Amino acid sequence: MSTPPTGPAAGPQRRGRGRRPAHEVRADVLRAAGALLLGGGLTALTFDRVARESGVSRTTLHKWWPSVGSLALDGYFHTVEDTLAFPDTDDLRADITTQLRHFVELMTTTPAGRLLTELIGRSQTDPDLAAEYRRLYSSARRQLATDRFRRAQEAGQIRPGIDVRVLVDQLWGAVYHRLLIPDEPVDEAFADALVDNLFDGVVQTP
């Protein structure tokens, strides 16, 4: 089977998938992969099933995604992009709280939590997967969060000296910590406490 051309889309009379632009084919694949992952977790995702669901050949899939892990990460990132989008109102605290609650809900009420902890787990002894995890998922998610905080910092809402990259570890990283080592619950109260501690500070002021 030939690879999808990158030129303009064929007219409506062309129904063959091979003629559609690459970005549309890619979107179909990522959607199919994401749906399988959120339906059944990592074990539900195989090249065969994605090929069947998306109508894209295995050859094409293997060419664009070297491993099932890379397909999972890419599909997952695009599938949760809207759910995890940062609101951008004037109320930074409300925006972060809203996003963090969505993140906690996604991690605890869908197979997403299990999927990510399993990929993070495997990546501890699989350097290729670790590199793919950072390239296709974590570094882009970090960037979206730091972008939101940098805008807040430029607007004078976050103190100038704060390294906003550290906030990512103290909010979403703290959630991952409880997901990976489940000594304590991951719930909305936890999400709210994470935000409160950083926004209000924890020390008693005289």
**Which of 142, 144, 151, 187 lies at the binding interface for its own copies (CB under 8 A)?**
142
Q: Does position 163 bind its own copies by CB under 8 A?
A: yes
Selected binder of its own copies within 76, 138, 145, 148 (CB under 8 A)? 138
Fill in the DSSP letter of residue 7.
S
Determine, following the binding rule CB under 8 A, whether residue 103 of this chain makes contact with its own copies.
no
Q: Are 167 and 144 in contact (CB under 8 A)?
A: no
Q: Considering the rule CB under 8 A, would residue 170 count as an interface residue with its own copies?
A: yes
- Inter-residue contact 164 to 153 (CB < 8 Å): yes
Q: Is 94 one of the binding residues for its own copies (CB under 8 A)?
A: no
Residue 175: closest CA among 103, 123, 95:
103
Q: Is 157 in the site for its own copies (CB under 8 A)?
A: yes
Is 200 among the residues that bind its own copies (CB under 8 A)? Answer: yes
8 Å CB contact between 119 and 112: no
User: Do the Cβ atoms of 191 and 101 come closer than 8 Å?
Assistant: yes
**Quick check: 191 and 94 in contact, CB under 8 A?**
no
Contacting positions for its own copies (CB under 8 A)? 92-93, 117-118, 120-125, 130, 133-134, 138-139, 142, 156-160, 162-163, 165-167, 169-170, 172-178, 180-184, 190, 193-194, 197-204
